[in-house]
Amino acid sequence: MIYTFDLSDKIILITGGYGYLGRAITEGLVFHGATVYVLGRSQEKFNQAFDTNIEKESRLLFENCDISKTDSIKMAFKKVYDSTGKIDVLINNAFYSEGQSPYKMTDKEWSTGIDGTLSSVFRCIREVVPYFEKNHSSRIINVSSMYGVVAPDFSVYDDFEKFLNPPHYGAAKAGVIQLTKYYASLLGDKNITVNSITPGPYPSEEVQKSKDFINELADKTALKRIGKPEDLAGAFIFLASETSNYITGQNIVVDGGWTIK
């Protein structure tokens, strides 16, 4: 049998699928034939993010979901399952956070960042497993970060303190990688694969207005440029497709060579 990147039989859920990176991931999955449910809190942002022609294909849909609330996650998953009869892939992409200063961060800000970046992933995994156990094969794809793999080079931020990466973000993203390995080991005998994808420097369009900071980021990579959203989408298409059937517990780094230095 020849496995391909065709996703035409897949029902895929992605949290935060209308954001800067999420949009490119979502569009890539739809292009390869998947039916994608974007889980988020704002249908207005969903409508603004996507071309109406894609929406008319009825393979790109919105489902209200607040990843900070277990009841909301349960309801969203149940509504999709009741509508489609299955869920094949869950992509944990959304996160929320508060605070930035490594010296003045409050206990509340720390807890919120850990909850929004790590605990929310746990909640989504826990709630999707009962649906995945009904399938013959399912996928969980978690999103980590280069700062879950390596510490920041703080010299990059010397003149750009407002962009400084906060301490709870990297700690939680490292936790996402370990959580990925944990559930890959636990769920392997159910033919549920669990992998993570680690983006490198993909600054938002707003951050890109600071050309000097972007040059600092680009210089830290082997390819000497920041990442574009479309650079990231391919890894998700690969892990969602049958071509990755024998891959689990892995962390795929898509960072232009940032972490090799």
Catalytic residues: 169
Six token digits for residue 164: 């400084």
- The set of residues, in sequence order, having a beta carbon less than 8 Å from that of 211 and lying 6+ positions away, is none
The Cα–Cα gap between 12 and 86 comes to 10
Q: Are strands 192-199 and 60-64 parallel, antiparallel or unpaired?
A: unpaired
**Which letter, b or e, does each residue of 12-26 get, where b requires 16 or more Cβ atoms within 10 Å of its Cβ?**
bbbbbbbbebbbbbb
The candidate with the shortest Cα–Cα distance to 60, out of 17, 9, 94, is: 17
- Is 246 within 8 Å of 239 (Cβ atoms)? no
Sign of the torsion angle spanned by Cα atoms 15, 18, 21, 25 = positive
The order of strands in the sheet holding 89-92 is 60-64, 35-40, 11-15, 89-92, 138-143, 192-199, 251-254
The Cα–Cα gap between 18 and 94 comes to 10
Would you give the DSSP letter of residue 80?
Answer: H
Six token digits for residue 185: 């080991």
